[in-house]
């Protein structure tokens, strides 16, 4: 059983949380009917955190880094708690699948892609579901309008998700290869 809260793991959680924050800040805004959404590489870092650190530390890094980004942006600050939970669950699901065999070095690239896909789907069901329900019940949008807004979000989410699912496994294997050369084991 992996020890989750060693000094080394806490440090790695902080580093990956910082990378997640930084990657989330790199974005291209896309205006929609109700709000501005954006295309960004932050989700790739959330998936990478689960792949590299495992389920619980990966969830913490993904959730904390994303939450602090939300808190730093007035448009996203009201959703910081949702971000913590939803992005944390993305990293957790990805980490569970990759680490089921004992760690990154035991999983194939195919397993990493499956994990990335499952992690991103988990996040998008939660995020898009919350957004849609908010549009209907709190913003009192008509169903047609809410569905139109949802379709725009699906496009930008699909772009974010596709990039994350492609990039995170490749980054994980590149990091593993570099660490193996130095003899460092996560």
pLDDT in tens, 45-59: 999 999 999 999 999
Q: How confident is the model at residue 102 (pLDDT cuts 50, 70, 90)?
A: low
Q: Mean pLDDT over residues 98-106, rounded?
A: 69
The per-residue pLDDT for 30 is 73
Averaged pLDDT for residues 135-159? 91
pLDDT of residue 153: 86
Question: Domain-by-domain residue ranges, the chain?
Answer: 7-29+37-182
Query: Residue 91: CB partners within 8 Å, gap ≥ 6?
Result: 46, 47, 49, 50, 55, 58, 59, 60, 61, 62, 63, 119
Q: What is the pLDDT of residue 34?
A: 56
- Residue pair 95/51 in contact (Cβ under 8 Å)? The answer is yes
Quick one: pLDDT band at residue 75, thresholds 50, 70, 90?
Answer: confident
Cα separation, 158 vs 136, in Å, equals 22
CATH architecture of 7-29+37-182: Orthogonal Bundle (1.10)
Q: Which residue has the tokens 């059983």?
A: 1
CA distance 54 to 93: 9
**Does residue 1 have a pLDDT over 50?**
no
Q: What percent of the chain has pLDDT over 70?
A: 91
What is the length of the chain? 186
Q: Would you place residue 36 in the very low, low, confident or very high pLDDT band (cuts 50, 70, 90)? A: low
For residue 2, pLDDT over 60 is answered with no
């Amino acid at each position: 059983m992996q020890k989750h809260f060693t000094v080394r793991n806490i440090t790695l959680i902080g580093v990956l949380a910082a990378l997640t924050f930084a990657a989330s800040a790199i974005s291209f805004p896309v205006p929609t009917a109700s709000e501005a959404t954006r295309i960004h590489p932050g989700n790739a870092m959330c998936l990478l955190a689960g792949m590299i650190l495992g389920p619980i530390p990966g969830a913490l890094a993904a959730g904390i880094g994303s939450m602090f980004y939300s808190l730093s942006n007035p448009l996203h600050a009201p959703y910081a708690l949702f971000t913590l939970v939803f992005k944390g669950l993305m990293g957790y699901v990805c980490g569970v699948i990759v680490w089921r065999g004992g760690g990154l070095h035991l999983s194939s690239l195919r397993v990493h892609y499956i994990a990335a896909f499952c992690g991103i789907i988990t996040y998008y069901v939660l995020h898009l579901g919350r957004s849609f329900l908010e549009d209907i019940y709190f913003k009192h949008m008509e169903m047609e309008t809410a569905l139109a807004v949802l379709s725009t979000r699906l496009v930008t989410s699909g772009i974010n998700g596709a990039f994350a699912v492609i990039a995170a496994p490749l980054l994980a294997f590149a990091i593993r290869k570099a660490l193996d050369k130095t003899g460092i084991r996560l």
